[in-house]
C-alpha cells in the first residue's frame, strides 16, 4: 500500500465537484447550534462589560432613593477611590435624544466622589425603560446599606407622583400595599423641608415617623415654623435631630391644649351615726356609685338584688318630674 505524504498538499478537486449546488455553499459557521450559543455568549459578555465614561456626560436626573449626601460622606468615599480605585461600578443608561450622554440608574454617591476627583466613572451601560431603571435601582439597594424608612417613603411618593404604576413601585421597594400606603401617608403629611433637615434617621422606624406625621396634621401646629427654631448644630446624628423635632412638637401641642376642667370631688354618703354608706364618683364619661361592703354589707347585698327595679323606679320618677304641669 502506498503511503500518503502528509506534507504534500491534497490534489485539486475534480471538475464535477466544483459545481456544488448553491444550497451547499453556506457559511462555514452557520448561526445555529453551538455557534449560535457562542455568539449569544459574546453578546452577554459585551453587555456586562464595564466601560469608562466621562462624568461630564452623566446626568443625575430621576427619582432619588436617598436623602442628600453630606460633604464628609463624599470626601470619605473619594479618598477610598483615590487610594484603591473604584471597586464597584455605577449603572447608567443612554439618553435617547442626547447621543453620547447618559442618565444615572444607581451609584449617585460614587458619581459625586468621582466628579470631585475629576476621573472617569467605571459604569455598566444598560438600555432600560423608565420602569426597568426603577426596578434596577430598587434591587441594587438590597445589595448595600438598606435605605431608612423615610428614604423609602420619599422614594415611593416621588415615583407615584411621577406616574409610575403601583406594581412597579411595590417591586422596586419590595413592600406590600399596606406598607406602601403608610409610607406615602407619612411622606405627604410631613413637609419635605423638615424631612431633609432631619436626614435619613436610620434608627427611627415606621411607628415613630407615623406619630410625627399624626402630630403634624394638627391645625394648631406649623411644623416648618417649629423646626426653624431648633439648633440642629448641637445634634450628633440624624436620629438626634428627629428626637429634637419630635420633642418640640410634643411641647408645642401641650402648650396649645385647652386646660381640662377639674373633676368634681368624690361625694361620700354617710348615715347619721357615721356609717359609710356609699361613694359617688363622677368622670367625663360616667357617674359611679360605690357601696361599702364592709360598713353596710346587708344593704350592699340588698341593692345588688334589687338594683334593676330600684334604678328603673328612680328613672321613672325623674321622668315624671320632667313633664310640665
Summarize pLDDT for 170-207 with one digit per residue, the tens: 877 778 899 999 999 999 999 988 998 898 888 899 99
Span of 205-214, 264-273, 298-307 with lowest mean pLDDT: 264-273
Together in a domain, 140 and 150: no
How far apart CA 289 and CA 278 sit, in angstroms, is 7
Greater confidence (260 vs 194) lies with 194
CA distances from 285 to 26, 282, 288, 308, 318 (A): 95, 8, 10, 21, 20
The three cell numbers of residue 89 are 461600578
Together in a domain, 139 and 198: no
CATH code, domain carrying 54? 3.90.1530.10
Identify whether 58 is part of a domain: yes
Last residue of some domain: 253, 269, 287?
253
Identify whether 29 is part of a domain: no
pTM for the model stands at 0.48
Interacting residues of 125 by C-beta distance below 8 A, sequence separation 6+: 51, 53, 91, 92, 93, 94, 102
- What percentage of the chain exceeds 70 in pLDDT? 76
CA distances from 307 to 134, 170, 244, 262, 312 (A): 69, 59, 54, 30, 8
Number of domains in the chain: 2
Mean pLDDT value across the chain:
77
Which residue range forms the structural domain that includes residue 78?
45-144
Q: Please report the pLDDT score of residue 136 as a whole number.
A: 72
Span of 171-180, 205-214, 251-260 with lowest mean pLDDT: 251-260
Interacting residues of 303 by C-beta distance below 8 A, sequence separation 6+: 291, 310
Q: pLDDT at residue 5 above 80?
A: no
Amino acid at each position: 500500500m502506498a503511503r500518503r505524504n502528509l506534507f504534500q498538499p491534497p490534489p485539486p478537486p475534480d471538475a464535477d465537484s466544483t459545481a456544488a449546488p448553491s444550497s451547499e455553499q453556506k457559511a462555514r459557521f452557520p448561526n445555529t447550534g453551538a455557534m449560535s450559543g457562542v455568539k449569544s455568549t459574546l453578546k452577554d459578555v459585551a453587555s456586562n462589560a464595564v466601560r469608562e465614561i466621562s462624568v461630564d456626560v452623566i446626568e443625575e436626573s430621576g427619582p432619588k432613593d436617598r436623602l442628600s449626601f453630606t460633604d464628609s460622606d463624599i470626601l470619605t468615599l473619594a479618598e477610598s477611590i483615590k487610594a484603591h480605585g473604584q471597586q464597584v461600578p455605577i449603572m447608567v443608561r443612554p439618553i435617547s435624544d442626547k447621543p453620547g450622554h447618559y442618565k444615572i440608574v444607581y451609584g449617585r454617591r460614587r458619581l459625586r466622589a468621582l466628579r470631585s476627583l475629576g476621573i472617569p466613572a467605571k459604569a455598566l451601560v444598560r438600555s432600560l425603560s423608565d420602569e426597568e431603571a426603577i426596578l434596577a435601582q430598587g434591587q441594587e439597594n438590597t445589595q448595600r446599606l438598606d435605605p431608612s424608612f423615610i428614604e423609602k417613603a420619599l422614594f415611593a411618593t416621588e415615583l407615584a407622583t411621577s406616574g409610575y404604576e403601583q406594581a412597579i413601585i411595590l417591586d422596586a421597594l419590595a413592600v406590600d400595599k399596606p406598607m406602601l400606603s403608610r409610607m406615602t401617608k407619612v411622606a405627604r403629611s410631613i413637609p419635605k423641608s423638615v424631612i431633609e433637615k432631619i436626614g435619613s434617621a436610620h434608627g427611627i422606624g415606621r411607628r415613630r415617623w407615623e406619630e410625627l406625621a399624626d402630630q403634624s396634621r394638627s391645625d394648631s401646629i406649623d411644623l416648618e415654623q417649629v423646626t426653624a427654631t431648633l439648633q440642629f448644630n448641637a445634634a450628633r446624628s440624624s436620629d438626634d435631630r428627629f428626637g429634637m423635632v419630635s420633642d418640640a412638637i410634643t411641647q408645642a401641642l401641650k402648650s396649645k391644649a385647652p386646660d381640662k376642667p377639674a373633676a368634681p370631688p368624690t361625694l361620700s354618703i354617710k348615715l347619721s351615726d357615721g356609717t359609710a354608706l356609699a361613694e359617688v364618683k363622677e368622670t367625663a364619661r360616667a357617674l359611679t356609685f360605690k357601696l361599702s361592703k364592709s360598713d353596710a354589707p346587708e344593704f350592699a347585698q340588698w341593692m345588688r338584688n334589687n338594683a334593676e327595679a330600684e334604678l328603673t323606679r328612680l328613672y321613672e320618677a325623674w321622668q315624671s318630674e320632667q313633664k310640665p304641669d
